[in-house]
Structure 1
Amino acid sequence: MSNYRMGIVSSLDAIGEAAWNDLVARQTDANPFLSYAFLSALHDTGCASADTGWRPQYLCLWQGKALHAALPLYAKSHSYGEYVFDWAWADAYSRHGLPYYPKLLAAIPFTPVSGNRLLARDDAARQALVAALGELQKNAGLSSTHVLFPTETEAQLLQQAGFMLRSGVQFHWENRGYADFSDFLSTLERKKSKNIRAERRKVAEAGVTFRQVEGTEATAADWGFFYRCYANTYAEHHSTPYLNPAFFERIGKTMPQHILLVLAERDGAPIAASLVVHDRHALYGRYWGALEQVPCLHFETAYYQPLEFCIRRGIPAFEGGAQGEHKLARGFLPRQTWSAHWIAEPAFADAIRHFLRRESSGMGAYIDELNEHAPFKMLTAV
């Protein structure tokens, strides 16, 4: 720590786009959600701000004027938009008359995508960043610190620093060099491939066609229709969207090379849309919505069309987002995710530690069971 100057930054403007993106580019598991364009869009449009319960408190280490390490950190006044659920922990604090909020949260807001969280130029800076986080959380007087969806290596480093680890599961698709979608289907069990063909046929027979619009070609009308679909999904669940039109307008201008819109149309009019983010490493499923109900339309718009894009572009993986066992039958396999948690109150820390041990054992068994039901054909040894 003596080699670095520590600071808490409430705005990425204080770091600067070039310095931030240079640090991100040095990471082994970076993705577009760590970019200055994505994070600043969340903050500047008010989606992740103090007013919405996401007060930026980025922890940074400098040597001179050079940024050597940083942690995307927030003081949170609730647990919405996180995808690692600690509502029961907050409730237990409340029932004992103790405040759980605000808490410290290191995460990409509203984005359950694993990747680097402990951004650093080298191992020494990363170790110093963990030490700085330890000092911060002890001096802040807050209930807890949570690091969501770090890499496994980062999770282990945090565990060594006294954090408790929690595991979860997502469903990811692997591109095994498929020539086309039919080639992918040929690797699945007959029943699974037959079901997928039937789902796609239902959509086609309903007269629905698709346009895959890359962000560089998307028009204002395309974005406007997508937002109608996105907002409608929340309305159908009697909820409020986390993201506003200004956010999507912003990323459409600042990171269009990472965006694909899939627009479903019938009789020349759009009826559904999905948005995915991609880089050369993976495609990340994000948002979907529809204004009309068509059987299997969700699977075609949010999964099969993006899978075709992956195959055509040679993108190695499709990360399907949080939860969803239905993805297993469509070629997505379980992948373990991580989060790390530090609890200030010793009695609560002990109770949560016991809970996480039980949960971890059950999660391991769950992943094993899912793998036993993988949809791919068994390979016969020659």
Structure 2
Amino acid sequence: MSEDEIIITRHGTLASIGQEDWDACACPEAQEGSRPADPFTTYRFLKALEDSGSVGPGTGWEAHYLTAEQNGQVIACAPLYAKGHSQGEYIFDHNWAHAWERAGGRYYPKLQIAVPFTPVTGRRFLTRPGCEQAGQQALAQGAIQLTRQNGLSSLHATFCDADEWHAGPDLGLMQRTSQQFHWINEGYSSFDDFLGSLSSRKRKNIRKERATANDFGGEIVTLTGDGIKPHHWDAIWEFYQDTGARKWGQPYLTRAFFDIAHDTLRDDILLVLALRDDQPVAGAMNLIGRSALYGRYWGCVEHHACLHFELCYYRAMDFAISHRLQRIEAGAQGEHKLARGYLPVNTYSLHWVADDGFAEAIQSYLLAERDAVEQDIEIMTEYGPFRKPNVEDHE
């Protein structure tokens, strides 16, 4: 073995890698104790998924974490899973699976580099600083080789960042774009300052929604860190089960995940709860990054007009403004976010398909899809709630 050779290793558990090596690649900016840029790729978040049984046998998410080691040091790692379905991904390939199987093939299992159940943009090829190019190449080649050796249909890296997406063709991967709605903090000093950037009609509508929501008959509290108590997770679990049953058929996360989150993740979490007679009747769970707030789960046991908008969007904006966070990522889908100041942005994924003919067909589809996504973003941005330059706007 030459001195500079890179060794790729597959791991069935994060414990065999260790937190120090993983986080040195996933969140090197947090080594001095500051907040990670991306809370979802940290060892503690992915380990909570693993230890709680949210991923693993029987879930359709079987862990095969990759590490790239050079000169005795882990220089890169990736959260890789064998998928037995396409649930919990939010980059949809169901049509690919149907076409593959109609042609007589077996689409599942496939390999997926992703954070399970988490439609949040971030690095997927996690590298130590200074090892970006070598680490990305090694991980991509290792994942493709693993796909080939096991006779699997495909490899996917979903919600990768823009730099990785641009590097995709050099890594042998096809590029795909999708879109989400994000709220951008343009240096607002207050929520009223944000409202001042909107057209008069949208401004009035949001004020009306906030007034309606806050008149639900109780109080709204925001909690993070030690302000979150173990009993709060009972309410969050109840909300999550209700939402999961309506949207996905069954919840992705187990109850144990929330108990582990209380022990290891509560400093990364913001809960917004609506209390009536001191009992939670609705709530939203967010994760906090270094420069962004990530909306994750919402649910309720009582319906109150506009309370969803207040807890998920407006209180998140209040928090982002007061903590000088640059943006809010509110998750997948939801064109109703547009009227509330969330604008469409590109999200990215990368793909490798074993069959050359099928890969060629998908590549043609991806090029057409990319044009359609760009057109949608352009049109929706034009219909956004913000004031147009040189247009009079009266309260």
Match of 1:274 in 2: 284
Shift of the alpha carbon at 1:238? 7.0
Q: Measure the CA separation in 2 of the matches of 1:166 and 1:27.
A: 28
Q: Which amino acid aligns with 1:137?
A: T
CA contact (8 A) 2:144 2:352 kept: no
CA contact (8 A) 1:5 1:61 kept: yes
Shift of the alpha carbon at 1:233? 1.4
Q: Which amino acid aligns with 2:83?
A: K
Q: TM-score, normalised by structure 1?
A: 0.95
Shift of the alpha carbon at 1:283? 0.1
Match of 2:67 in 1: 60
Match of 1:108 in 2: 115
Shift of the alpha carbon at 1:64? 4.2
Match of 2:202 in 1: 192
Q: Which moved more, 1:62-71 or 1:273-282?
A: 62-71
Q: Measure the CA separation in 2 of the matches of 1:264 and 1:219.
A: 15
Shift of the alpha carbon at 1:181? 1.1
Q: Which amino acid aligns with 2:75?
A: H
Q: Measure the CA separation in 2 of the matches of 1:281 and 1:79.
A: 30
CA contact (8 A) 2:125 2:135 kept: no
Match of 2:256 in 1: 246
Partner SS, residue 364 of structure 2: helix
Q: Is the alpha carbon distance of 1:27 and 1:219 closer, same or farther for their aligned partners in structure 2, counting shifts above 3 Å?
A: closer
Q: Measure the CA separation in 1 of the matches of 2:104 and 2:341.
A: 47
Q: Measure the CA separation in 1 of the matches of 2:351 and 2:247.
A: 30
Q: Which moved more, 1:261-270 or 1:334-343?
A: 261-270
Q: Which amino acid aligns with 1:79?
A: S
Is 2:306 the counterpart of 1:296? yes
Q: Is the alpha carbon distance of 1:272 and 1:70 closer, same or farther for their aligned partners in structure 2, counting shifts above 3 Å?
A: same
Q: Which amino acid aligns with 1:242?
A: Y
Q: Is the alpha carbon distance of 1:204 and 1:42 closer, same or farther for their aligned partners in structure 2, counting shifts above 3 Å?
A: same
CA RMSD of aligned residues (A): 1.8
Superposition map of 1:330-369 within 5 A: 330-369=340-379
Match of 1:85 in 2: 92
Find the partner of 2:245 among 205, 227, 235.
235
Match of 1:313 in 2: 323
Q: Measure the CA separation in 1 of the matches of 2:88 and 2:65.
A: 18
Q: TM-score, normalised by structure 2?
A: 0.92
CA contact (8 A) 2:156 2:350 kept: yes
Q: Measure the CA separation in 1 of the matches of 2:344 and 2:67.
A: 34
Shift of the alpha carbon at 1:370? 1.1
Q: Deviations over 1:325-363 (max 9, x none)?
A: 111111111110111111111221122122112211111
CA contact (8 A) 2:37 2:291 kept: no
Match of 1:262 in 2: 272
Partner SS, residue 58 of structure 2: helix
Q: Measure the CA separation in 2 of the matches of 1:197 and 1:48.
A: 42
Find the partner of 2:214 among 182, 194, 204.
204
Q: Which moved more, 1:76-85 or 1:216-225?
A: 216-225
Q: Deviations over 1:246-277 (max 9, x none)?
A: 10111121121110111102243321011000
Q: Measure the CA separation in 2 of the matches of 1:156 and 1:213.
A: 38
Superposition map of 1:16-55 within 5 A: 16-26=18-28, 30-55=37-62
Match of 2:13 in 1: 11
CA contact (8 A) 2:197 2:387 kept: yes
Is 2:161 the counterpart of 1:151? yes
Q: Which moved more, 1:351-360 or 1:96-105?
A: 351-360
Q: Is the alpha carbon distance of 1:61 and 1:27 closer, same or farther for their aligned partners in structure 2, counting shifts above 3 Å?
A: farther
Match of 1:162 in 2: 172
Q: Measure the CA separation in 1 of the matches of 2:45 and 2:248.
A: 27
Q: Which blocks of at least 5 consecutive residues in structure 1 are unaligned?
A: none
Q: Which amino acid aligns with 2:337?
A: K
Q: Measure the CA separation in 1 of the matches of 2:233 and 2:355.
A: 46
Q: Which amino acid aligns with 1:10?
A: G
Q: Is the alpha carbon distance of 1:38 and 1:231 closer, same or farther for their aligned partners in structure 2, counting shifts above 3 Å?
A: same
Q: Measure the CA separation in 2 of the matches of 1:157 and 1:238.
A: 33
CA contact (8 A) 1:167 1:338 kept: yes
Find the partner of 1:284 among 290, 294, 302.
294
Sequence identity percentage: 41
